Amino acid sequence: MAVTLEQAWRVGYTCLKALLRFAFMVANNLVAIPSYVLYLIMLQPLRMLDSKSFWYIEGVLFKWLLAMVASWGWWAGYTVVEWGDDVKAVSEDEAMVLVNHQATGDVCTLMMCLQDKGTVVRQMMWLMDHIFKYTNFGIVSLIHGDFFIRQGRTHRDQQLVLLKDHLEKYYRSRNRKWIVLFPEGGFLRKRRETSQAFAKKNNLPFLKHVTLPRLGATQVILKTLVAPQENGTPASGDTVMKESKAKGLQLVIDTTIAYPKGEPIDIQTWILGYRQPTVTHVHYRIFPVKDVPAEPEALTDWLYQRFIEKEDLLTHFYETGAFPPPKGQTKAISREMTLSNLWLVGIQSLAFLSGGMWYCIFQYLYHCLF
């Protein structure tokens, strides 16, 4: 089939745009990430004198870095429409966020749609696959205190012990409030067949749009972060003193990400922007943690039920283009989330100015020493 001049022009324009976006992303990373690290090295004396202020500043810088990632998608026309409960109203409460996982773009989508949720982004902790430790953003997540979990049955028990230790060491001391995890333990396309076979063997529902979640990390988080008075567990004197300083985990936010036609956005698309502008839909449902069972068997059933509901939500979305209304209502209300272009430009400009400043400082030091 012959290629028309218009088609050739479109392909050329798309390739040129992708190349320019990639060059900008690389430059952005080369100045923003080292600047983040250097600012925090410079602030180490403050960390020793006033840890709370240090982690506040780190959180602001972390939010700005995530905003830069969000801007790559935002400027390519990859926007978000939100449904269900309004999580902005509970942004100051401690919450565990359960998210379905389809592609690498899920993380970028969350980085975008949580930007306008108050202090959430700078006070959140992520649980992600250990492979992300070796990406360009790995050093940032390590400093921020995110947890990299290694998948696989042989590592499972050890990883849960490490997760518990990590939460006890870093979650309260760094004033974290939201913790985000993907309970399915991998991408939908990689886990669907195994999950369906497990469901058939154990007489569980057949799921197409999500997979059955794993219990381990969810259970560790609830045991470690929920205050005893919330789940009815007797507390020792030391525990009561510790929990009196924090309310503990108060909410579980069940988050469902849906892409038009079930075609998820991956990180390559997010960076290069070669797909046409796309609206990603995110549905939230908030559960008080007191309504979440603590016993393993009951918690497993509760968690399975959440993902069965996700299956129903996604089935409805793919059939109608919208999520169903809440029970007792006739119409579902959606909300378009927005980001300020001026704010995004300001953050990007600050990153490049910071890179220039550090370059001048090192040049001056080099000439002084040599």
DSSP code for 169 = I
Neighbours of 363 (CB within 10 A): 10
CA distance 144 to 170: 9
Would you list the domain boundaries of the chain?
A: 5-227+247-369
- The gap from C-alpha 286 to its chain's centroid, in whole angstroms, comes to 17
DSSP states of 93-149 as a string?
Answer: S-EEEEE---STHHHHHHHHHTTTSTTTGGGEEEEEEGGGGGSTTHHHHHHHT-EEE
* pLDDT string in tens for the chain (370-residue length): 566 877 778 878 889 889 999 999 999 999 999 999 999 999 999 999 999 999 999 999 999 999 999 999 999 999 999 999 999 999 999 999 999 999 999 999 999 999 999 899 999 999 988 888 888 788 999 999 999 988 777 777 899 999 999 999 999 999 999 999 999 988 998 999 999 999 999 999 999 999 999 999 999 999 999 976 555 443 443 443 344 345 789 999 999 999 999 999 999 999 999 999 999 999 999 999 999 998 999 999 999 999 999 999 999 999 999 999 988 788 888 999 999 999 999 999 999 999 999 999 999 888 888 8
> What distances in angstroms separate CA 212 from CA 58, 130, 192, 300, 360, one per listed residue?
36, 21, 9, 10, 53
- Could you give the 3-state DSSP secondary structure of residue 75? coil
This prediction's pTM: 0.89
> What distances in angstroms separate CA 120 from CA 124, 176, 256, one per listed residue?
6, 9, 18
Cβ contact 322:219 at 8 Å: no
| Short-list 300, 299, 270, CA closest to 74 | 270
Residue 209 belongs to what H/E stretch?
none
Contacts (Cβ under 8 Å, ≥6 apart) of 157: none
Strands 147-149 vs 124-129: parallel, antiparallel or unpaired: parallel
Residue 197 belongs to what H/E stretch?
helix 188-201
Token readout for 20 is 């320019």
CA distance 43 to 55: 10
